Chains A and B, each alone.
Chain A
Amino acid sequence: AQTVTQSQPEMSVQEAETVTLSCTYDTSENNYYLFWYKQPPSRQMILVIRQEAYKQQNATENRFSVNFQKAAKSFSLKISDSQLGDTAMYFCAFMMASGTYKYIFGTGTRLKVLA
Chain B
Amino acid sequence: DSGVTQTPKHLITATGQRVTLRCSPRSGDLSVYWYQQSLDQGLQFLIQYYNGEERAKGNILERFSAQQFPDLHSELNLSSLELGDSALYFCASSADVYYGYTFGSGTRLTVV
List residues of chain A with CB under 8 Å of any chain B CB. Answer: 33, 35, 37, 42-47, 50, 52, 91, 95, 97, 99-108
Contacts and interface: CB of A to CB of B under 8 A. Distances in A.
Interface of B: 2, 31, 33, 35, 42-45, 48, 55-56, 58, 88, 90, 92, 94, 97-103, 105-106, 108
Contacts, number: 53
The secondary structure that dominates the B interface is: strand
B98 A43 contact: no
A12 B18 CA distance: 41
B97 to A, nearest CB: 4
A108 B42 contact: yes
Contacts of B103: 37, 44-46
B99 to A, nearest CB: 7
Given A33-B98, A45-B90, A106-B42, 17 more contacts: A44-B2, A44-B103, A44-B106, A45-B103, A91-B43, A99-B56, A101-B56, A101-B94, A101-B97, A102-B33, A102-B48, A102-B56, A102-B58, A103-B35, A103-B101, A105-B42, A105-B43
